[in-house]
Amino acid sequence: MRIDDLTRTYVRVALDHPLPTLFDYRCDAALLPAPGMLVSVPFGKRHVVGLIAEVTAHSEVPPDRLKSVAGVCAACPPLSGHWLQLAQFAADYYQRGIGEVALPALPQALRDAARWARLLAPEEHYRLLPAGRAALPDALPARASALRRLAAALAAVESLPAADARALHPKAIATLEAWQAEGWVALDVIDSAAPLRSQHHAAQNSTLPTLTDEQTAAFEAIRDAQGFAPFLLHGVTGSGKTEVYLRALAALLAANPQAQALVLVPEINLTPQFEAAFRARFASMDDTAIITLHSGLAEGERARNWFAAHTGRARIVLGTRLAVLASLPHLSIIVVDEEHDPAYKQQEGLRYSARDLAVWRAKQLGVPVVLGSATPSLESWWQVEQGRYKRLTLSRRAVADAALPSVRLIDLEDERRRGRASVEGLSGPLIAALKTRLERGEQSLVFLNRRGYAPQLACDACGWVAGCPRCSAYVVLHKPERALRCHHCGWESRIPRSCPECGNVDIAPLGRGTQRVEEALASAVPGARVLRIDADSTRRKGSAQALFSDVHAGEIDILVGTQMIAKGHDFRRVSLVGVLNADTALFSHDFRASERLFAQLMQVSGRAGRAGLPGEVLVQTRYARHALYHALACHDYIGFANSTLAERRDAHLPPFVYQAMLRAEGRTLDASLTFLQQAAGALADIPAAARVTVYDAVPLTIVKVMHVHRAQLLVESASRAALQATLRAWQPALRTIKGVLRWSIEVDPLDI
């Protein structure tokens, strides 16, 4: 044996690469390699960051083909064995390589070896002082749009990272230093090894809210759970599910000084109010650190927060779906709020379900997991029916005088027969109800899950409809921006003055979006302060939080928005909810459409009457006798769930079967369909596929996006094991089929 062999060992490294394999490298034993360590390795002509999955004394790769590890990330302690098991499970179940799971789950700062040395370097943050908040609006010239963006960004967040400031204005740092000299801005140098905490800490409540009997029973069940215990907390809107979470976490943190808790929410815009509630409750606990993890954080902030969780300093981690893959060495409880929400399913790259991984992770660690919702997913409801989950019920609202809102259906066909006029899709009864709330000084919410001004721009003379040149979809009219925009690829153009086909100048918008409803309300309800919240009005960082703050402060009379306003928000002054254009989901090709519509309507209805004001929900529909609307009017989730599950059982649909989707993207539709047909033929050679049903290859509803044609092939089985075995054996054959740009497998698809 050579002396060189005594100083070297071998490591098997996971890389973010489509091949589901580990790559062998030589490693100097002096580097003390261990599973879970991050390493920099040569891969082709470049150096990339990988994760050590195994350390071994031998390698099957010939010595002349082995390369050496270039360096290790000493600043980051190795990821735990439990975390590696989680990544491996996700890779196996969702049919990806472990590197495609593990590496994207880490902050960008850890995936770039050049930045390892700066990983724990202090970072500069600028904070707007009260004097600046008062002086800046008048001190900036009206045409200084870049400076005003910088000032708005400062006002919207607790502290603005220097890197974010530079992205807003080329001379941002010099400007901020000048504002600092004026006493308008303060500079904070933040230790990257410590979690970034809010500058405002509310005092802990001296008196906690009195729990209802149902809340007490739910809290005690969670508190007393031993080992893995999956709970479905089924609570009507406003029933105090958050208070149950807070009590359970407080009991756990008090009992175990090292315990960590993970709380998942479906959307970024829900994190500020959750963070405020958690900070208010735990503000007096010196050893408690609360951090957030989501894609809206600046890179440095996300890296610091992730590192605080990884080292165990963060006691409560609040985040969106990506947080389920965070490293938490002392994880002791997991909470998934609004567990039914489709946002928990990743739709790009690794198409995982954060809710399902949360349950698996809780089982792996032997800890409780709480799934909370007013409208649980049918999959979770079925688990309760099978006795696998324990149901905890909150059947009434927590505030003593707060009842569930009454639901009234406005029959649009009846309104039309009676000759009653409407204003841009707003019926007479809805407008009258909005005016009544305005006179009372109460707030109203108008829900329309369609952004933009109008979904189509058309010519009555020749039938032309504005379409995207890159996608098989119509473009959406955005009137305030005077633009036509594709919501699939981002293509944008100016609104034409006349029809490009026949020259007719009388082109008109078809349908309604939130922008058009906002405009209509301004004229239909004079004097009302109308605010729109959707993806277009909240593009800038911190803008959503600022707009919601205006609503909570009572500065808005009518709030118009999409699903962003439908769930989780505790609007204390809202007494009326109006729902527009819900009928389209009743006739969707997707078998989950009715479940999603019911959940959406139940959630948005729950925004009314939460603080004791009598709540009312008006739903405009042309199908007032539909069973879904009848269940909604009765707040009968259980009846709806049981009847829908019976339909799914008869039709052999999930959760009674398990599905996977093979998607192909090609330069032509024929290429994509041919690939899928050949893929279906390859299943004949796989023994496990005998228990799998294969459907015909079909184009997607939006078949072309960015000049790429898309098609799909659905496979399903009554046996999850048979489906998984088939998918594993299928992939080598799929890699031999040529002719498409990309293909991917999605397990448990939500959109079919």
Whether 363 and 383 share a structural domain: yes
Residues whose CB falls within 8 Å of the CB of residue 134, separated by 6 or more in sequence, listed in order: none
Residue 484 lies in a domain: no
Instruction: Note whether 584 and 460 are within 8 A (CB).
Output: no
Residue range 18-33: mean pLDDT, rounded: 89
- Is 634 annotated as belonging to a binding site? no
84 and 175 assigned to the same domain: no
Q: What is the mean pLDDT of the chain?
A: 89
Domain boundary among 359, 394, 429: 394
- Please indicate, yes or no, if residue 53 is contained in any of the structural domains: yes
489 annotated ligand binder? yes
Range of the domain at 49: 3-114
Residue 728 to residue 723: CA distance in whole angstroms: 9
Q: What is the CATH number of the domain that holds 587?
A: 3.40.50.300
What pLDDT sits at residue 544? 83
Shared domain for 562 and 527, answered yes or no, is yes
Cβ pair 282, 250 in contact under 8 A: yes
Asked if the structure places residue 487 within a domain, the reply is no
Q: Report yes or no on 542 lying in a domain.
A: yes
pLDDT per position as a tens digit, 617-651: 999 999 999 999 999 999 999 999 999 999 999 99
Which band of pLDDT confidence, cut at 50, 70 and 90, is reported for residue 677? very high
Residues in the chain: 752
Tokens, residue 651:
């039709």
What stretch of H or E contains 235? strand 229-235
Confidence of residue 117 (pLDDT cuts 50, 70, 90): low
What does the block give as tokens for 318? 């609040």
Q: Any idea what DSSP says for residue 496?
A: P
Q: Is the peptide bond before 655 cis (omega within 30 degrees of 0)?
A: yes
Mean pLDDT for 53-58 is: 92
pLDDT at 201 > cutoff 50: no
Residue 404 · residue 615 · CB < 8 Å: yes
* Domain assignment of residue 525, yes or no: yes
- 727 and 668 within one domain: yes
Q: Which residues of 544-557 are buried (b: 16+ CB within 10 A; e: fewer)?
A: bbebbeebeeeebb
**pLDDT at position 351 over 70:** yes
Q: Which of 540, 602, 588 shows the shortest CA–CA distance to 234?
A: 602
Do 388 and 412 lie in one domain? The reply is no
Where in 428-529 does DSSP place strands (E)? 443-447, 456-459, 476-478, 483-485, 492-494, 507-510
* Residue 502 assigned to a binding site: yes
Same domain? 525 vs 628: yes
pLDDT band at residue 538, thresholds of 50, 70 and 90?
A: confident
Note whether 104 and 134 are same-domain residues. Answer: no
- For the chain, how many helices (H) and strands (E)? 22, 31
pLDDT tens-digit readout, 708-729: 999 999 999 999 999 999 999 9
Number of domains the chain contains: 5
Binding site annotation covers 73?
Answer: no
76 assigned to a ligand binding site: no
The answer on 357 and 449 residing in a single domain is no
Helix (H, G, I), strand (E, B), or coil: what is residue 534? coil
Q: Does residue 198 lie in a domain region? A: no
Rounded CA-CA distance 358/372 in Å is 13
Amino acid at 473: A
Question: Is 595 within a domain?
Answer: yes
| 471 annotated as belonging to a binding site for a ligand | yes
Backbone angles phi, psi at 406, to 5 degrees: -80, 145
Q: Is 499 annotated as a binding residue?
A: yes
pTM above 0.85, yes or no: yes
Residues 41 and 23: beta-carbon distance below 8 Å = yes
pLDDT average, residue stretch 350-366: 97
Residue 463 burial class via C-beta count within 10 angstroms: exposed 0-12, middle 13-18, buried 19 and up: exposed
Q: What Å distances lie between residue 58 and 24, 288, 346, CA to CA? A: 10, 45, 38
Q: Are residues 149 and 275 in the same domain?
A: no
Q: Is 486 annotated as a binding residue?
A: yes
Tell me how far the alpha carbon of residue 214 is from its chain's centroid.
29
Residue 495's nearest CA partner among 483, 505, 479, 506 is: 483
